Amino acid sequence: MNALAAFHLRAAAIYVALGMVAGIVMAASQHFEYGPAHGHLNLLGFASAAIYGLVLKDRPDLAATRLAKVHAILAHLGLVVMTIGLTLMFSGDAATGEPLAKAGSVIVLLGGLAFIALVFKATGPRTA
């Protein structure tokens, strides 16, 4: 398996463990206001990163591109920044959390656009 696919799959495994722990802590403490951070961690962290890893495992030629590396940086950096921002925001520190959540969201969006470009590259007609 190529290194970038392995990176995404390992990150997905870490994100799902963190998401599960966050869900258990939320339930045990009855602090469900952290639900958006928990949800984003599981969906963007676990589900999306796993998909990224499986796509790049199947297409090592794409994993070797600069765009795939840029996508990985944007996707994971954006998720971390957004999750921290959402957690702070719902902890009552909107002054710090909201700008981080917004910045993280934009970074995730840029990563998503990079992934779209990778998908179109992978599914477009091949030249001989």
Q: What is the pLDDT of residues 23-40, one digit of tens each?
A: 999 889 998 888 888 888
pLDDT at 127: 54
The pTM of the full predicted model, rounded to 2 decimals, is 0.88
Phi, psi of 94 (to 5 degrees): -65, -30
Task: Quote the CA–CA distance of 103 and 96 in Å, as a whole number.
Answer: 11
Task: Quote the CA–CA distance of 32 and 8 in Å, as a whole number.
Answer: 28
When pLDDT is averaged across residues 88-104 and rounded to a whole number, the result is 95
**Does 128 have pLDDT greater than 70?**
no
Measure the N-to-C terminal CA separation of the chain; round to a whole number of Å. 25
Task: Quote the CA–CA distance of 15 and 50 in Å, as a whole number.
Answer: 10
**Does 112 have pLDDT greater than 90?**
yes
pLDDT at 38: 87
C-beta of residue 113 within 8 angstroms of C-beta of residue 87: no
